[in-house]
Structure 1
Amino acid sequence: MSGTRVKRRLWRWRSNPLRRHDDVVEAWVVLVVWLVITVGGTLVGLMAAHATDQALARQRTERYPVQAVLVTDSSRPAIGDSSSGDRVTAKVRWTAPDGATRTGYALVDSGQKAGAHVVVWLDARGALAHEPPSPAEAALESALFGGAAALGLAGLALGCGAVVRWRLDRRRIEAWGREWDVVEPRWGHRTG
């Protein structure tokens, strides 16, 4: 296929005698929106996924497990109580790295009696924390956050493009009304 045929096929609207300036602007807006979605969405998604992966990797290196003792029973939760699957919040006691005995509330398996040994996770300051995600869970979370960021940018770009196109449509309709006010009286009589 020759170069001029490709150019005509891709930019057919350029040679249209009815083409308005707003039509050209709209074509460029659509092109820019799709470029932002494809290029920008990819970059934002990759950056968000990378940042999430780094944060989760930092959690895995900073958090560590310690043995704790249940202070209260971890009975099965009643309907409406705070729980996560078969895990419930219960009071636990553990020895901090500085030798001090501390107590707090952590998620433990349900159905255990007071005095049972459980594993809890501490952060770099020695405070109770959630167990960090495994590398596979972290990869999934990173992918989800990256996808959400890309979709957010795509939605924003599509929304902005839709607003610009709506304004261009309004301008075209107003211009058509002004032109009709000039042309309509020249047509002579009205029907109806």
Structure 2
Amino acid sequence: MGATTMRARAGRWRERIDRRRRSCGFDRNDLRRGVDRIQWRLGLLLLMVFLSATPPLVAHAVRAAYGSGVRAEHRQAATRHRVEATIVKVQDPGGRRTVTVAWTDPNGTRRTADYTTWRGASVGERLILWAGPDGVSITPPRRHAQTVVHTAVNGTGVVLATGLPLLGFYWLVRARCDRSRYRMWDADWARLDNHRIGP
């Protein structure tokens, strides 16, 4: 790549950055009205509030969600085990099925328990379930991937919960500033229309 091409690309990037900077109000344009400066300062203030408040809130939410998820992983891995059960009874009181299953623990103890499901089930069917102190479930113990996803969702939720109200407030202020600008422009045009040119 030649030096001329690199300089041309750098010039285009500078133009884009300057255009973006001016559109955000970072210039010394004497034609800007007071309402433009108010809007720009308020936007900058809200951005600073967002950038200062969001990181600690996100860090707290992520730390709490991840810690809770890891504890649930360890607890479920320690207390729930995989069993091969046989359906011995099915009750269907209108859609949801209460299924009674029986299985034999590794120590030879015969056990039965109920769980509720929306899926079809028939007596004699064999299932892989997970048994624990709170009964049996078709849901396996919590995996680490679930903890990671839950943590990411929590962090994203905090960002949205913090940013959306600030953004909404900024848009309301911007709408008011736009109405003020339109009134000023209309008044300026009216003065120009009333200005007599010539003798």
Question: Which TM-score band (shorter chain)?
Answer: 0.5 to 0.7
Q: Say whether residues 1:26 and 2:36 are aligned partners.
A: no
Q: Identify if the C-alpha distance between structure 1 residues 19 and 115 changes in structure 2 by more than 3 Å, giving closer, same or farther.
A: closer
Q: Which residue, out of 118, 128, 135, partners 2:144?
A: 135
- Structure 2 residue runs of 5 or longer lacking an equivalent are 1-21, 90-94, 105-109
Q: 2:38 is matched by which residue type in structure 1?
A: V
Q: Identify if the C-alpha distance between structure 1 residues 146 and 17 changes in structure 2 by more than 3 Å, giving closer, same or farther.
A: same
Q: Work out the CA distance in 2 between the residues paired with 1:167 and 1:187.
A: 29
Residue equivalent to 1:78: none
Q: Identify if the C-alpha distance between structure 1 residues 50 and 19 changes in structure 2 by more than 3 Å, giving closer, same or farther.
A: same
Residue equivalent to 1:114: 124
Identity of matched residues, %: 19
Aligned 1:1-192 pairs, distance under 5 A: 12-13=27-28, 16-63=29-76, 64-66=79-81, 67=83, 69-71=85-87, 91-93=100-102, 101-105=112-116, 114=124, 116=126, 118-122=128-132, 126-128=134-136, 130-181=139-190, 183-184=191-192, 186-188=194-196
| RMSD (Å) for aligned C-alpha atoms | 4.3
Q: TM-score when scaled to structure 2?
A: 0.56
Count of residues paired in the alignment? 160
> Shift in Å at residue 168 of structure 1?
0.8
1:140-187 superposed Cα distances (whole Å, 9 cap, x missing partner): 331243134324533443333222212111112123334444x24641
Q: Work out the CA distance in 1 between the residues paired with 2:173 and 2:131.
A: 51
Q: TM-score when scaled to structure 1?
A: 0.58
Contact 2:65–2:150 (8 Å) recurs in 1: yes
Higher relative contact order (Cα pairs below 8 Å, separated by 6+ residues): 1
Contact 2:87–2:122 (8 Å) recurs in 1: no
1:56-97 superposed Cα distances (whole Å, 9 cap, x missing partner): 234224432144622169xxxxxxx99xxxxxx9653469xx
Residue equivalent to 2:107: none
Q: Work out the CA distance in 2 between the residues paired with 1:151 and 1:55.
A: 22
